[in-house]
Structure formats: C-alpha cells, structure tokens
Amino acid sequence: AVKEFLARAKEDFLKKWENPAQNTASLEQFERIRTLGTGSFGRVMLVRHKDSGHHYAMKILDKQKVVKLKQIEHTLNEKRILQAVTFPFLVRLEYSFK
C-alpha cells in the first residue's frame, strides 16, 4: 500500500511540475486578518478566502528584496515545488498571484 501511494504521489508531482499553475487568484479575493510572522523577504498573514470562507496562510514577498538579495530563482523554485507537492504533513500551495 505504501509503495502504491508513493508511486501515485510521484506521478502526481511530476504532472504538476511539468504544468505549473499560473495566477490562480487575486488579492481582492482575500480578507487579511493578521500577521502571523515576518522574515527577510516579507511576511506571512492569516487570510480568509471571501467566497469559500476558508482560512489560509498567505506569504507576501517584497519583490525588491528578493531581487536585491539574488533570490529570484530560489523563490520561483519554492513556488513550483509547493504547487506540485501533495503529501501528508507538508503545506501545499492553494493559490498564487502577483
């Protein structure tokens, strides 16, 4: 059962990796509730999706800081991995936008 699960998870990951989702939402679709934390490139906020009512952690990056610290490729890789992975105990990317 574990081998089959891992095989399906790998297949699903590779499909999503090859065809990454683009701009699946907009900022206007969310209500900002409060800041959960801050980091080098921005902050993480608790938000509520206005249509569904679901709560999410939204990572808001300061593009100028990402560029200045030469972290563009690293940031894009993080986004691509998170949108492709579906696995217990790992966060997944539900929405993304600029």
10 is in an annotated binding site: no
| 8-27: b (≥16 Cβ within 10 Å) or e | eeeeeeeebeeeeeeeeeee
- Residue for token pair 């090859």: 18
C-alpha span between 5 and 11 (Å, rounded): 10
Residue positions in the annotated binding site for ATP?
59
Residue positions in the annotated binding site?
59
